[in-house]
Each structure stands twice: as C-alpha cells, then as structure tokens.
Amino acid sequence: MKTIALIPARYAATRFPFKLMQQLGNKSVIRHTYDNTLATDLFDEVIVVTDSEIILNEIVENGGKAVMSKKNHESGSDRIAEAMESNEADVVLNVQGDEPFIDKRTLAKLLDAFKDEQVQVASVMKIFKDLSLVSNPNYVKVVVDQNNNSLLFSRSPIPYHRDQELNPTYYEHIGVYAFRKKALMQFTQWPITPLEAIEKIECLRYLENGVQLKMVLTEHEGVKIDVPEDLEKAQKYLENLN
C-alpha cells in the first residue's frame, strides 16, 4: 500500500494570520510540521500543498517538497485532493500545518486502520483532560459508536450532560485525516453540506453523505496553533521536549 502525507498550508488563516510562518524555536511552524512528519519514516512521500509562495519557498529552500494550489479552496481536503489527482498513492494522510508536534505512533495507528477494507476515512481523537475546554468552540468534539466510528462532530459540547449522576467522556477531534484516494476525490464532488457550513467542520460533509470516519484514540499531548496564545504554549512545549 503506497502512502503519502500531504500538508495543506494556507497563509492567511482567519483566527491567526500568517501563523504557519511564525517562528517556533529555530524554525517556522510549517517547517516543524513538515520535518516531523518526514522523520516518522512512514510515508513514501511528504509534500506541503500551499496557496502561498512564501510557504512554498520556506519548504523548498530548506530541502523539502512543496507544490502550489492552482485554485482557491474552502477546506484542506479540497486543497490536497487537487494535489492527489495525478498521484497514484492508495492512502493519503492529511496532516494539519498548524500541528507541529507530530506523533509517529498515532500516525502509524491511523494507517493501520486501513487494513480493514471497509474503512474509507480515518481520523484521530483524544480524551479531554481539561474539561473547561469542552465548551470552547475552537476545540472540535466528536462522539463515536462502540466500534469507534464517528457519529457526530461539533464545536458545541457533545454529549449534553443531562444526567448528572453519569460522568461522560468527552473526546477532542484532532485534525489529522487519512483517506483512500477514491473517498477523497469523491469528497470534492459533493457540495458543501448544511452542517459543514454551519459548524465549519469539513468532515461533517462525509457524515452527511453517509460515510463514517474510523476514529483512532491517541494519548499524545501536542499543541495545535489556532490563536497567538497557542504559540506561547508551543514554545514551552518545545522547550520541554529539548
């Protein structure tokens, strides 16, 4: 099974413009993401897919692989699908550019999910340890069935904690996806769906078209960079790693 990792990298992010080019230690955020994905040695190829010549040059001038998007895209999946049209990989893994601390064990588990021929799309979740974050809309929540297939994603707290005698487990959706090529290309043919448009969560397009995601549980505690405060957390995380 040929596998490829694609890293969609948009320059003008809404909540934190130019975040991928922010300095984190001695590298930009996007270079950390690229280098750490490459270092897992799990993929036949790792490529950044970007709408920015600045990001393109940042990767290429430091020995990496990057390509420019030819079109404007609503989601990261749409962006990498364009890059996949001419690639013959069986499974493509979408690594978010703002997740610089890649965990090899998590990505290996994600790829292992495709040993089941029924799995078309897979993604990652982890248990919320800080329950104060459950109500934060910047953290996407997911609920799953007994086989860890996704039932719903939302920026709202799910499940709703009505029975106070029970202690629900809340799962955070980590924005790392893997797809069979056919499923990814099919995604781009579907129009944006109502829940996807309302929540601004692209994987809801799969659920609204009847495709569940196989969710892989991780205990890895990385840092996702959504807002400027997250960059400070990432700096501290990197210092602890070093």
Q: What are phi and psi of 28, to 5 degrees?
A: -75, 160
Return per-residue pLDDT of the chain as tens, 242 residues: 899 999 988 887 777 889 999 999 999 999 999 999 999 999 999 999 998 999 999 999 999 999 998 767 666 677 788 888 888 899 999 998 998 998 999 999 999 999 999 999 999 999 999 999 999 998 999 999 999 999 999 999 999 999 999 999 999 999 889 999 999 999 989 999 999 999 999 999 999 999 999 999 999 888 888 888 999 999 999 999 87
Give the chain's domain count: 1
The two most distant CA atoms of the chain are separated, in Å, by 57
Q: What is the pLDDT of residue 74?
A: 66
The CATH number linked to 175 is 3.90.550.10
Question: Which residues are within 8 A (CB) of 90 and not within 5 positions of it... i.e. 6 or more apart?
Answer: 1, 2, 3, 180, 181
Distances (CA, A) of 52 to 29, 108, 159, 221, 229: 15, 30, 39, 29, 24
Domain span holding position 66: 3-241
